[in-house]
Structures are given as structure tokens and as C-alpha cells.
């Protein structure tokens, strides 16, 4: 009988083409719009995108995934998560993803959104056959190679450049990646990257082994009491990310509810090319008893830093985060000091309660003594830093309560607490309070904040979402924040606020429309008549966005977007806008993606950001600044089921500019052209 019901549900939902449930057919552009609705925040969007796509590439098992797993994908409300877990407890394991239609509070739009990210798989083979056989037969394996180049030459490649600033390598960017994985079982992978201007060489004394950047990992999961083991590169996400947050915080954006809460997903492989957010060593999670888990990690990694001499000892005056090593000046920073991280997390899980205590110690080979400025008087100084804290997550009915508190043992505190609640099937809310002391020192945090760092901030956030029916919903948030101490470009304590309203209209599965309005008010320095002093003024930025996504034919998709902003400060108002038209033509093995955009901004405060389609596993978020035209074309061709290739051409032509960029990255002329080619082999 259960099988017959599943078959009937399958028949009712099969109006979708089968490929729309495949994960590699996921509409990443829509995902980026939903999660990164405000892409001018101080967040590393490339890193966030990499983490999200990599985790979404491994579908969750509907029968074994936890509430934290479902929260991470930012699709289900608290009431829907609760309904799914109750259905799973009261009934036998789900037989198919289509059975979700039988779950209370699940409708077809929700199922359509969730289906690409979930699966129903039999995990018994994980213990019945060897790891080698599972890698060969049951895993997702792929090898990716990518080539990129800016056709115009930068000043750093010029023979006239000074020896200390002249790039030593070719202008080509090379990227190679391999991964073999089976969700909940294992993952093996490596990445090699050479940026433009960097060299490919072998020098063990300088820790050069071919490409400038190498990353690798081996992960095993669910082997008896050993729940997780990672060797190589990894990152941590515990609690709300105040101490150990990796790069998983999505910030404020189009998703106003789930973005307020971080998912407690523990240790995960690091698969990005951002050289500043990684730990390298070993991490493990052990199930020590029925309700107790212990996680521990150790990392030892070279860090890019400016090392000088103070008195008779070496000191680090600043850290370099670009990851570029193209000339002697930049090579002098490369792995100039080692950083050791040691940490442990003891967690207790019982039904819907998830609590834990955490400790993390960071030790630098060379003590840190930053160059003093007026705003960083409370920045970390010294060789070692210890943080200790706790987290608490608890779900009751359709409410999720979460909190974390932490302290730098030689510094200050940080705390956050909040609630996600489904007050009705149509109304969801999020409330979040945060208080981060100015002398709290987290080096791997992603706590919810207005600024890019989890310190020197207090705030109160309220987000809401109301769903009228399957076609209409409106969401928004209000965030009030205060910075108790001075900040960069702001030499006084300050306050500010931000609000957003977004209206979504989905008249059909083929048409999506959203309108978004946002206002942000912040204080900052402005020039005074006395050039030795600054005045403090309040700047107000207003953003407006209209987006129309239309799939009028199975082979044709059109996407139009208009963005406008104004910025007012010190009795002066400037503006900027961008208009973009995307055309996507899919004729089976061959797919064309094109964009034509025009933009104009009076100043940098009105630069426009908008997600732009790219080759698989690459992220593009260009800044539309100045005045000009942007053109982009992607050609994707599936040679076989296992082999696919991409070619991408993107060009920006500026009006009235004699050069683009500054310093060694300066390009003479008004045009910048980027070429990219990629091949992916699955086996």
C-alpha cells in the first residue's frame, strides 16, 4: 500500500522534466539572488558561493539528515522542518523524494525547490563493500581544469616596471581540481591554482610545489563511533560562528529568516582557493556515548604577513589576505610566519537539544604587533590567543532557539541569541540580538554582523516573511546596530540602521518576479576645512531592484534586471544604475548564456553588483562602477555524458576612461576583456 501511494504521488508531480531534479541542473543564479540579495556587504561572496555549491552538490538523505542539515539549505521553514522530522519518525523511511507530497505543510513549490538537494539512498552498502569499490562504483567523481586570461596587459607585466614590482610569471590563470565523494561516507580531493603573474616552479625551501596554491583533503564519515575524520584542509562551523565559523555566514540579504541563524555542521573539507580562511592538519568527531560527541582539530599552516623588526625581535605588523605572489614585493610576504590552531568541542545532543562547549587556541610563530592607527587601539597583539565559549540550540514545536557566548581569555566577550519561529503556516519571523566587545579576538568567525568582523558591534535584527499563497510572498527586515568604538573611516562611536522589503511573485513555474527596496544609514568621516581633522556625517544609501525571470520556452530563458541606487552625505546626493539582460538558449548538448548590460555611477558609493553566470563551480560578481557597457557570452557543450566543456568571454568597455585599475594592476585604455575555458570529466 505504501508503494502504491508513492507511485500515485509520483504521477501527480511528474509535470516536471526529469532533469530538473538533477543537482547539476540547479539554477545557481536564482540561488545566488535569494541568498545574496545585497551583494555590496563586506562578505567574501566567492567563498560563500564555493561552500554552498559544494555542499549542495551532495544531496541530503531525507531519511538520515538532521534538522541542522535542512536548515543549512535555506529552503524550509521551521514548521516544515518539524513536519518532515515528525513524518519520518511516525512513518517508515521515505521510499522516494516524491513522497514529500504526503508531508503536512509541504506544497508543490516547496517540493520543486527542495528536490534537487535531497535524495533517498540505501546506506547499507557503505558497510557491505570496501572503500575502494565504493569509490569506483558509487561515488561522484570529477576532474576539472580551467584556463583564464585577461587579454589586455597590466602594468606588472611591463618590461618598464621596477624589478621589485614586475610580475615573474605568465598572465595566464590555471586551475585544476579533482574530487571523489559519496555523501555521508567519504570525500577525497585536491586543488591547484596559479594566479596571473605567478610562477609554476619547484622549490622545497620556499614551499613551492608546482602551482603557487595547493589544497587537498581526505574525509571519512560514519565509521562506527568515528563520525567524521578529515586530513588536510578543512574549516569549522560550530554554534553561531562567533569563535569557529569558517565562511558559512550568508549575511543579510534576500533570505530574511534563515540567514539570521548559523547551522551547527561541524568540520567540513575546505575546497576553495581563498588562502586566508583555511586550516590544514587533522580534525575529527567521535561519538563517545549515546548523547555525547567530542570534536577536535589541529592545524599548522604558513600565513602571508608583513614581518619586520622591533627592537631585537621579529614582529608581524599586518597580514596579507590577497593570496597573490607575483613579484618580489608580494613573494616577501608568502608564508612569512606559521600559525598553529588547536581546538576542541564537546557537544550534547538529545532530541531537539544541541549544546556544547568550545575551546580554541591560536599561536603565531612571530608575535603580532600591528601598526597603530586611531581606530585599531584594541586589535589583537601578542603571540597566542585563547577563546572559550558555549552554544545552545533548542527546538520546541515550530520555534528554534539558538545562542552562543564566547570570551577571549585575554580580552573581551561576544554573545548572540535569537529565535526563528513559524507563527502560522504563512508567517515566519526571526529575531536576533548580538553584542561583540571591541577586544574580542576571533580569527575564524562568521557571526551575524553588519561589519566584516565579529567584534566592536551591538545590534538587534528582526526579519519576517509572509506567504499569501503559492504565487505571492513578501519579506523584509529591520536591523539597528551600534559600533561602540572607532572604525576604519569613522573616528568616533556611531550608530546606524538598515531595512529591506522584498516582494516575490511567481505566477507560474516559468515566471519569477521580485522587487526589492533597501535603505542603509551609517556614519563616516568627511573632510573638514581643517585638513588635519575630520567631521562625522551620516550617509544614507537607497537601493532599488526589479528582476524578471521568464522561461517562455523549454529551450529559452530570459532574465531582465534593473538596479538603481542613491547615496546622500553631507548635503550631497549621487546616484548610479545598471540595466542587464540575460538570454539563455538550451538546445540539448549545446547551451548559450549571454548578458548585455549598461551602467553608470557617479562615484564608488553607487557601484552596482549583480550575480553573473559563469562556468561550473566558478563565481562572478562584477562591480559596475563608472560608465560603460558589459558583455558576456558562455558556450557550454556536453561532448558526452561524462565530458563537458565551457568557453566564456566577458568584456567591459568604459566611457571616458584612459585606464582601468591602479598600480601594478593598471590597464592602459578603456577596455578589459576576460577569456575563460573549462573542461570537466566525470567518471
Calpha distance 8→16 (Å, rounded): 15
- 329's enclosing H/E stretch is helix 328-331
The reported pLDDT for the residue numbered 560 is: 95
Q: Which three cell numbers stand for residue 369?
A: 604587533
Query: Is 397 exposed, middle or buried, given 0-12, 13-18 or 19+ CB atoms closer than 10 A?
Result: exposed
End-to-end CA distance of the chain: 38
Query: What is the distance between the alpha carbons of residues 46 and 143, in angstroms, rounded to a whole number?
Result: 20
Chain-centroid distance of CA 110 in Å reads 23
H/E element, 10: helix 2-13
Q: Say if CB 24 and CB 644 are below 8 A apart.
A: no
- What CA–CA distances, in Å, run from 313 to 58, 134, 366, 440? 48, 53, 9, 26
Cβ atoms 214, 167 nearer than 8 A: no
- Domain limits of the chain? 554-561+582-600+609-683
| Strands 590-601 vs 118-119: parallel, antiparallel or unpaired | unpaired
Sign of CA dihedral 126, 129, 134, 137: negative
User: Which residue carries 599586518 as its cell?
Assistant: 318
Q: 629-665 pLDDT, tens per residue?
A: 999 999 999 999 999 999 999 999 999 899 999 999 9
Mind spelling out the 3-state secondary structure of 365-391? Answer: EEEECCCCCCCCCCCCCEEEEEEEEEE
Beta-bridged to residue 543, according to DSSP, are: 518, 565
Q: Of 444, 439, 306, nearest to 371 (Cα)?
A: 306
DSSP letter (8 states) at residue 183: T
Query: Could you give the CA distance from residue 283 to residue 274 in angstroms, rounded to a whole number?
Result: 20
Handedness of CA 59, 62, 68, 72 (dihedral sign): positive
**E strands of 304-449, at which residues?**
305-310, 313-319, 337-350, 353-368, 382-396, 399-408, 413-422, 427-436
- Which residue stretches of the chain have pLDDT < 70? 1-57, 121-139, 247-251, 253-254
- How many C-beta atoms lie closer than 10 Å to residue 438's C-beta? 19
Contact 408, 379 (CB under 8 A): no
Q: In this structure, are residues 434 and 457 in contact, taking their beta carbons and an 8 Å threshold?
A: yes
Phi, psi of 161 (to 5 degrees): -70, 150
Residue 211 CA to residue 172 CA, distance in Å, equals 12
Contact 178, 194 (CB under 8 A): no
The confidence score (pLDDT) of residue 105 equals 81
* DSSP 3-state of 162: coil
Q: pTM value?
A: 0.89
Amino acid at each position: 500500500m505504501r508503494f502504491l501511494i508513492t507511485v500515485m504521488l509520483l504521477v501527480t508531480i511528474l509535470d516536471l522534466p526529469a532533469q530538473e531534479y538533477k543537482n547539476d541542473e540547479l539554477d545557481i543564479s536564482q540561488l545566488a539572488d535569494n541568498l545574496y540579495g545585497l551583494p555590496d556587504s563586506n562578505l567574501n561572496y566567492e567563498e560563500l558561493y564555493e561552500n554552498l555549491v559544494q555542499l549542495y552538490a551532495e544531496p541530503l538523505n531525507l531519511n538520515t539528515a538532521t534538522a541542522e542539515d535542512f536548515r543549512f539549505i535555506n529552503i524550509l521553514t521551521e514548521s516544515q522542518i518539524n513536519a518532515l522530522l515528525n513524518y519520518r519518525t511516525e512513518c517508515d523511511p521515505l521510499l522516494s523524494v516524491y513522497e514529500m507530497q504526503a508531508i503536512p505543510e509541504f506544497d508543490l513549490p516547496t517540493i520543486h525547490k527542495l528536490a534537487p538537494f535531497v535524495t533517498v539512498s540505501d546506506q547499507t552498502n557503505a558497510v557491505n563493500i570496501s572503500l575502494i569499490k565504493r569509490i569506483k562504483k558509487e561515488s561522484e567523481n570529477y576532474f576539472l581544469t580551467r584556463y583564464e586570461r585577461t587579454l589586455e596587459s597590466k602594468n606588472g607585466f611591463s618590461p618598464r616596471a621596477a624589478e621589485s614590482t614586475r610580475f615573474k610569471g605568465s598572465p595566464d590563470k590555471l586551475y585544476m581540481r579533482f574530487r571523489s565523494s559519496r555523501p555521508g561516507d567519504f570525500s577525497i580531493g585536491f586543488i591547484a591554482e596559479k594566479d596571473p603573474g605567478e610562477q609554476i616552479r619547484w622549490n622545497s625551501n620556499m614551499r613551492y610545489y608546482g602551482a603557487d596554491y595547493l589544497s587537498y583533503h581526505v574525509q571519512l564519515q560514519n565509521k562506527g563511533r568515528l563520525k567524521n575524520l578529515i586530513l588536510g584542509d578543512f574549516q569549522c562551523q560550530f554554534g553561531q560562528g562567533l569563535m569557529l565559523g569558517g565562511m558559512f555566514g550568508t549575511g543579510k540579504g534576500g533570505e530574511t529568516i534563515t540567514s539570521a541563524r548559523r547551522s551547527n555542521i561541524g568540520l567540513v573539507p575546505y575546497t576553495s582557493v581563498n588562502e586566508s580562511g583555511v586550516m590544514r592538519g587533522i580534525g575529527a568527531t567521535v561519538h563517545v556515548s549515546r548523547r555525547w560527541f567530542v570534536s577536535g582539530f589541529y592545524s599548522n599552516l604558513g600565513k602571508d604577513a608583513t614581518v619586520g623588526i622591533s627592537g631585537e625581535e621579529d614582529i608581524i605588523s599586518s597580514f596579507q589576505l590577497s593570496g597573490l605572489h607575483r613579484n618580489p614585493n608580494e613573494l616577501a610576504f608568502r608564508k612569512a610566519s606559521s600559525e598553529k590552531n588547536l581546538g576542541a568541542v564537546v557537544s550534547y545532543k538529545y532530541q531537539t537539544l544541541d549544546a556544547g562547549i568550545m575551546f580554541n587556541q591560536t599561536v603565531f610563530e612571530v608575535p603580532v604587533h600591528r601598526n597603530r592607527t586611531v581606530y585599531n587601539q584594541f586589535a589583537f597583539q601578542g603571540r597566542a590567543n585563547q577563546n572559550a565559549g558555549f552554544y545552545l540550540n533548542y527546538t520546541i514545536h515550530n520555534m528554534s532557539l539558538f545562542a552562543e557566548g564566547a570570551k577571549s581569555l585575554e580580552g573581551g566577550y561576544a554573545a548572540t541569541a535569537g529565535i526563528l519561529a513559524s507563527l502560522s503556516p504563512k508567517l515566519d519571523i526571526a529575531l536576533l540580538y548580538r553584542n561583540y566587545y571591541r577586544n574580542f579576538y576571533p580569527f575564524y568567525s562568521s557571526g551575524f554582523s553588519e561589519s566584516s568582523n565579529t567584534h566592536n558591534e551591538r545590534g538587534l535584527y528582526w526579519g519576517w516573511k509572509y506567504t499569501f499563497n503559492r504565487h505571492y510572498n513578501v519579506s523584509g527586515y529591520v536591523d539597528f546596530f551600534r559600533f561602540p568604538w572607532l572604525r576604519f573611516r569613522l573616528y568616533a562611536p556611531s550608530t546606524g540602521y538598515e531595512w529591506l522589503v522584498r516582494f516575490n511573485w511567481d505566477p507560474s513555474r516559468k515566471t519569477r518576479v521580485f522587487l526589492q527596496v533597501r535603505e542603509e544609514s551609517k556614519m563616516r568621516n568627511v573632510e573638514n576645512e581643517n585638513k588635519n581633522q575630520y567631521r562625522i556625517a551620516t550617509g544614507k544609501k537607497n537601493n532599488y531592484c526589479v528582476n524578471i525571470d521568464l522561461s517562455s520556452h523549454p529551450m529559452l530563458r530570459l532574465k531582465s534586471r534593473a538596479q538603481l541606487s542613491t547615496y546622500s552625505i553631507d548635503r550631497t546626493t549621487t546616484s548610479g544604475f545598471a540595466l542587464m539582460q540575460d538570454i539563455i538558449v538550451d538546445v540539448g548538448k549545446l547551451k548559450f548564456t549571454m548578458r548585455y548590460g549598461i551602467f553608470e555611477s557617479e562615484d564608488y558609493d553607487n557601484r552596482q553588483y549583480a550575480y553573473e553566470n559563469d562556468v561550473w563551480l566558478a563565481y562572478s560578481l562584477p562591480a559596475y562602477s563608472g560608465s560603460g557597457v558589459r558583455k558576456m557570452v558562455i558556450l557550454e557543450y556536453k561532448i558526452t555524458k561524462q565530458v563537458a566543456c565551457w568557453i566564456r568571454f566577458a568584456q567591459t568597455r568604459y566611457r571616458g576612461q584612459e585606464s582601468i585599475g591602479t598600480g601594478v594592476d593598471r590597464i592602459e585604455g578603456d577596455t578589459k576583456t576576460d577569456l575563460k575555458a573549462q573542461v570537466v570529466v566525470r567518471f
